[in-house]
Amino acid sequence: MENELYSRQAELNLYLPHGVAIIGCGGIGSWVAIFAAMSGIKNLHLYDTDVMEESNRNRLPFCQGSIGQPKVEVVAGFIRAIRPEAFVYPINCKFEPDMMNVLSGSGIENFIDCTDSPKTQISLYNESKKWDHYRYIRAGYDGTHITVTSHVSGWIKKDVEQEQYQVNPSWVVPAATVAALAIAKLMKFDNQEVGLDLSEIGIPVLDKQKRVTARCKQLAQERRTDEQET
């Protein structure tokens, strides 16, 4: 049955890690965990201290009954419903960099950082570089600008940054898009990184109408030739 479940991705040569730790289970991290499980990753460690709020549901697929419950528990329950064979460990605490030492024997070799704190990002990134077998991916968005990378901006002054919660514009499309691209980087496109605004994706309709394909040019020329002959 499981072979049939993943039969259509079997020939894509995807990297299937033994386990992934997802730091932050908000709008991005929840989707990262779901997409990871749907892709066949069976060992997931989820870290977050927050509870689900009504405002979270504009970008997450969870029911009204999830309000007030720990985010990690809600995400874990959702994943267990769609992938009963997965081992999901909801950990309702803040992930500290020194926890990497504890996880070193659990088969976790990949960390996807979905936090929104530059201080936390830098700490996680620096700690992951101390270990040869750990792989770090950061996924985030600001409005409609999305980022998926294996690095952290070096110019951030973490010693003077003030930790404070900010309410930023949020929407399901950038959250789910970033999460999907993070899993794509993890499992298929290791050397690829993303940093762009969603408005840069695709061709604007008016520009597309101005573009004439080779086939259209050929048909136009044939029509002109027919008109001249008649």
- What residues form DSSP beta bridges with 147? 140, 195
Angle at 229 between CA 224 and CA 230, to 5 degrees: 100
Task: Name the amino acid, one letter, at 203.
Answer: I
Residue with tokens 């995807």: 14
Architecture per CATH, domain 2-202, reads as 3-Layer(aba) Sandwich (3.40)
Q: Which has the minimum average pLDDT: 22-26, 62-66, 93-97?
A: 93-97
Task: Catalogue the E-assigned strands of the chain.
Answer: 20-23, 43-47, 87-91, 110-113, 135-142, 145-149, 194-197
Reference 111, options 94, 90, 97; nearest CA is: 97
pLDDT tens readout for residues 14-26: 999 999 999 999 9
Query: What backbone torsions phi and psi does residue 152 show, to the nearest 5 degrees?
Result: -130, 140
Cβ pair 155, 39 in contact under 8 A: no
Q: What pLDDT does 230 receive?
A: 67
pLDDT score of 101:
79
- Mean pLDDT computed over 41-68: 97
Q: What are residue 178's DSSP bridge partners?
A: none
* Selection from 86, 3, 2 nearest residue 44 by Cα: 86
Structure tokens at 144: 């409609």
Q: What is the pLDDT of residue 121?
A: 92
Q: Is 51 helix (H, G, I), strand (E, B) or coil?
A: strand
d(CA 120, CA 95): 9
The answer to whether 47 touches 23, Cβ cutoff 8 Å, is yes
Task: Grade residue 110 by pLDDT with cuts at 50, 70 and 90.
Answer: very high
Summarised one tens digit per residue, pLDDT across range 146-172 is 999 999 976 555 554 455 445 678 899
Q: Report domain extents, the chain.
A: 2-202
Q: What is the mean pLDDT of residues 55-78?
A: 97
CB 177 within 8 A of CB 31: no
pLDDT of residue 160: 46
Q: Which distant-in-sequence residues (6+ apart) come within 8 Å of 162 by Cβ?
A: none
- Average pLDDT for 32-38: 98
Place of tokens 């049939």: 4
Residue 216 amino acid letter:
C
**Which has the higher per-residue pLDDT, 38 or 208?**
38
